[in-house]
Structure 1
Amino acid sequence: MTRSGLTLHEPNAFLLSWAESELRGALARSPLPGAFEIFAQGSRANNTYLATGSDIDLVLMRRAPFEGGWTDFRDDVLAALGEIWPVRMGRRCLNVDDPGSLFGEMVDVLVATEYLSSSGEQGVYFLDREGRPIVNFPKQHRRNGDEKDLRTGGRFKQVVRTAKRHRPPGTPSYLLECLLHNVPDHIYRAPSAYRDALAWLRRCHREDPAAFAALPCQNGINRLFGPGPDQWEPAEAARIIDVLHQI
């Protein structure tokens, strides 16, 4: 897939910037009401992707204040992009379905409205396919991951990529990254960082299950475990840790 000489083998940062620019240009043809912001999230933005063919994940966030809600904004985005490409709403993100389009099937766009926490943290709000509300903080997730990777000399994201490569089918990569973010920095500086990180999580679950169940997401705001559609069950996480530790 190419456009203006760009291929998927170009540096990742440039590819993300290009995708953001192209989406912005497409939306400019059918202006959306109110102000909005476009930024990258996911494994490419966090530099934990495994292959050049990994999806590009973008967030299209409507800035507050605005009239109407998330559903109105989603419908406006669908209408605007539908004038250019065949589009549909997936489980959570908007997908461009035309394989011959600029994006093909490699870009997912999370349509969201701005959410401000009680402490003033900026997050995103959206509904999944079942109509369940989700609030997340992708900018904080990315920032905290970058800072931890810097503190550990690049070992944190190296371990995340290794774990993602060997994870059981169906394991959410986002939640796996959040889980590993809770491992203390000094463990990642050890020669056997991958095995030591998983061993720390196993001990935490077995010796202090209440502390394990209270672990936060990488964004430092949401809880990793709970009943929400973007949360995990402690027992399921422990099972996956055991599988990964045996590799």
Structure 2
Amino acid sequence: MKFTESMLNNYSQPLSNTEDQQCKNAINMVINSIKPLGFQEKSTSLEKMYSDTYSYYQVLESTSNNRKIKVFLQGSYANNTNVRTQSDVDIAVVEEDIFTTHYRQGVSDANYGFVNAQPRSQSFKDEIEIALTNTFGSDVSRENKSIKINGNSYRKDADAVPCRRYKDFSFDYYDNPTNYVGGIVINADSGEEIINYPEQHIRNGKEKNVATNHYYKKMVRIMKKMRYLMKDNGVSSASGVSSFALESLLWNIPNEYYLEFKDCRKVFMFSKLIEYLNSHSYALDTFKEANGIKLLCPNRDMLNNMKSFINSLITFYEYE
């Protein structure tokens, strides 16, 4: 399929002002739904975790005890890498006062003075689901990892993700309770436990974008659009990789490679990035997610899927 410079310029466009406001509306409505549980905002308005992103967040504190919740946008909207065919906004709802820990060998909760939390009558996910249902009614549906809220003209479709703070103390040798790598733990209804690092993803994406003269996120939007076009054209390998994986794939390309082609047309720069990925496919098993922590292809199936997608993209993408 042949692509022109004007087509790629269109694909690379960032979030519109209207979409930005819809994202703010979605997160504010989630926050307002939680407040009747006995919480109040720590600050008067939404803030951004990092400038040059849409990583809006708000910290809620209990009015009667030490409970604390952090609500923030994550995923493509927070990273400003969404494309027009992506509609759902991911909103993390993080329980901060109860957390999951990981230590180096020979270390336990006792070293840090942590104690086991007392069990509650209902899970955190149940609690958030009830609060959202009280606000959005039949627009709410429970899913394996999240709680979906149907959107309208005022707000985006949203996936609220109730989760718990994850604290990895593996590299702390001073028993310092503040010296940890922080992530989130999602306890899916299926019983699966998923550890993610969305805040690091947002930070790393911002830094990569600045370091590449703001071409990184433009190329990510183009890559995501290519995936959707490939799916529409029956390219089966496009279904074997996620938009998040492709964002991470481009994050692994060295900054200097973007800068080398910064004065070229986008159609040419994108072709050179594909060439880089193809010539470095032998190293895919060392690539990291954009958070810089987890492996991008941790198993053979994911590695093969990524290689297959890159091979298909080489054939699919032509430019004028």
Which TM class, normalised by the smaller chain length? Answer: 0.7 to 0.9
Deviations 1:21-63 (A, max 9, x none): 2211111123377210001111111111112872221110000
Task: In structure 1, list runs of 5 or more residues that go unmatched.
Answer: 1-7
Closer, same or farther in 2 for the Cα pair 1:232/1:12, shift >3 Å?
farther
Structure with the larger RCO, 1 or 2 (CA within 8 Å, 6+ apart): 2
Higher relative strand content: 2
Contact persistence 1:224–1:232 (CA under 8 A): no
2:102 is matched with: none
1:115 is matched with: 166
In the TM superposition, residue 150 of structure 1 has moved relative to its aligned partner by 0.8
**Which of the residues 62, 70, 74 maps onto 2:95?**
62
Contact persistence 2:22–2:154 (CA under 8 A): no
Instruction: State yes or no: 1:93 paired with 2:163.
Output: no
1:3 is matched with: none
- The letter of the residue matching 1:23 is V
Task: In structure 2, list runs of 5 or more residues that go unmatched.
Answer: 1-14, 40-61, 100-116, 172-179, 232-238
Instruction: State yes or no: 1:160 paired with 2:160.
Output: no
In the TM superposition, residue 16 of structure 1 has moved relative to its aligned partner by 3.1
Return the alpha-carbon distance in structure 2 between the equivalents of residues 232 and 176 of structure 1. 16
Instruction: State yes or no: 1:202 paired with 2:282.
Output: no
Instruction: State yes or no: 1:29 paired with 2:33.
Output: no
- TM-score using structure 1 length: 0.83
- The letter of the residue matching 1:116 is K
- Aligned pairs for 1:104-183 (under 5 A) are 106-118=157-169, 119=171, 120-167=180-227, 168-169=230-231, 170=239, 171-183=241-253
Return the alpha-carbon distance in structure 1 between the equivalents of residues 152 and 269 of structure 2. 43
- TM-score using structure 2 length: 0.65
Return the alpha-carbon distance in structure 1 between the equivalents of residues 201 and 84 of structure 2. 21
**Which of the residues 242, 254, 257 maps onto 1:184?**
254
- The letter of the residue matching 1:213 is D
Closer, same or farther in 2 for the Cα pair 1:83/1:102, shift >3 Å?
farther
Tell me the matched-pair count.
230
RMSD of aligned alpha carbons: 2.6
2:46 is matched with: none
1:216 is matched with: 288
Return the alpha-carbon distance in structure 1 between the equivalents of residues 71 and 301 of structure 2. 28
- Secondary structure of 1:123's counterpart equals strand
